[in-house]
Amino acid sequence: MTEHPRPARAPGPALAAYLGLSALALPPLAPLVLRRRLARGKELPDRWREKLGHASAPRPEGPLVWMHAVGLGEVLALRALVARLRARRPDVQVLITSTTRASAEVLAANMPPGCRHQFLPLDTPGAARRFLDHWHPDLCVWAEQDLWPGLTWRAARRGIPLAMVGARMNARAYRARARAAWLYRDLYKRFALISAQDERTAAHLARLGAGNVQVDGSFKPAAPPLAADAGALDALRRAIGGRPVWLAASTHPPDEPLALTAQRARLGQDPAALLIVAPRDPARGADIARICTDAGMVAQQRSANSIPDAGAQVYIADTFGEMGLWYRLAPAAFIGGTTSPVEGHNPWEAAQLGAAILHGPHVANFAADFAALHAADAAQEVTDAPALAAALGAPETATMAGRAQALVARGVDRIDDLCDQLAQLVPSLPEPRR
C-alpha cells in the first residue's frame, strides 16, 4: 500500500455543517437501525457489522482500488471496469462495496478475479475511520449516482485520489442535489476524474461545480455476461425442451399483470408457451404465485427447488444470483421496472446473453442506454399487454438480439481510454531493492 500526502484544504461551510451534524446524529442511531434491518432479514447476519466499518476480510497486498456502487445492477456493471483495469495493471486488487444484501449475494456468484466485496460503511466518523484504516485504498471510485459526503471527504483528506465513473443525473436528481449545491460543489472539486454517461449529466455536474467532466458513455455494455451454473442450465433446458419461452426480468408489482396478460394471449396462440418471471425482490415469489393462481394459470416456484414441468405455464424465478440462467433460456426478455416510476433496469444483461429486449415507456434510469439500443433497432417499446404479446410473436423480434450484441462489442472499446486514466491514478509498487 502507498502512503498518501494529506491535503491541507479544509471543508467549506456546507460540508463542515454536514460533517458536524452527521457526527452528532448518526453514531447513536446506526447500530439500532442496522439491528432492526437485521431482524427484518435485510442484512446478512454474519456481515452487518461491515456497515459499522468492521472488516470481515483481510486487506490484500499491493495496490488496492476501492469501487463503490449502490445496488445490484450498478455493482454488476463494475465488473467491466475491473476486468479492463486489471488487464492493464495485474498487480492491482479491487475492493467492491455496495449497500444492498441482494448486490452482495449476486456478486458472490459473479465475482471477477482479484476482487472482494464488503458493505459500504455508514457515513459516520467512526465507521469511516475503521474502514479506511483497514483497507487503506490507493484509489476511490464512486459509480453512477451514490456519493456519501463524509466518506468522500475523509478519503480525500488522506490523499486518496477520487474518481467518479458512469455518472448519471436526470433532471429530478439534479434538482434534489441543487438544494445542497454548496455541499456538492465542495465535494466535486476534490475529484481527480469525473466521467459522465451523457451530455445532460455532464451539464448538471458542471452546474453543481464539477470541473472538467468528460463524457464516456455507459460501461454497462462492456460488463462480462452474468454467470450460470452449467448443471442447472442443462437441467432446465432438458425440462423445458422445445417449448417457446420468454422472460419478464427484474419485475416489480406493476410489471407482472402486464406480463401475465400477455402470457394468457400467448397461451391462446400456443398452449406450450412458458413465461419465466424473475422478480427484482425474490421474496415476492409467493405473492406472484397467488396472482397466477387467481388468474387461472399454473405457476411453479424456483425457491421450492422445482423445475418447470409440462403443466407449468409460469415459472417464478424467485432466487438470488441466477439471472444468467434465465437470460440464457429465453430468446426474448421484457425488462422490468419500465411500466412505473421505477424507471427501468439494465438492458445490457439481456443483450449480452442473446435475448431480444422489450420494455415499457419508463426508462429514465437508463435513458442513454435504451436510446442507443433504439438507434440500432435493437430494442422495442411496448405500451400494453396486446403489444407485448404481438412483439413476442413477431419474426423481427428475434433479429434484434444480434444487433444488441453488436453494440455490446463496441461498448468494450469505449471504456478502454477511461480505464487507462484510472490506471494512471493508481500508484505503482516500488521496485524491489537489489
The residues annotated as belonging to the active site are 74
Neighbours of 57 (CB within 10 A): 13
State CA 98 to chain mean position distance.
9
CA–CA separation, 257 and 252 (whole Å): 10
CA–CA separation, 257 and 385 (whole Å): 9
User: Phi/psi of residue 108, each to 5°?
Assistant: -55, -30
CA–CA separation, 57 and 34 (whole Å): 20
Amino acid at 8: A
Strand order in the sheet with 193-196: 115-119, 93-98, 64-68, 139-143, 162-167, 193-196, 214-215
State CA 367 to chain mean position distance.
15
Helix then strand then coil, in percent of the chain rounded to 5, is: 50, 15, 35
CA–CA separation, 392 and 263 (whole Å): 10
Q: Which residue has the cell 466518506?
A: 151
Helix 181-188 to helix 171-178 angle, to the nearest 10 degrees?
A: 100
Close Cβ partners of 349 (under 8 Å, ≥ 6 residues apart): 73, 76, 223, 225, 226, 249, 323, 327
Q: Answer yes or no: are the C-beta atoms of 124 and 150 closer than 8 Å.
A: yes
Comparing CA positions, the residue from 258, 227, 269 lying closest to residue 106 is: 227
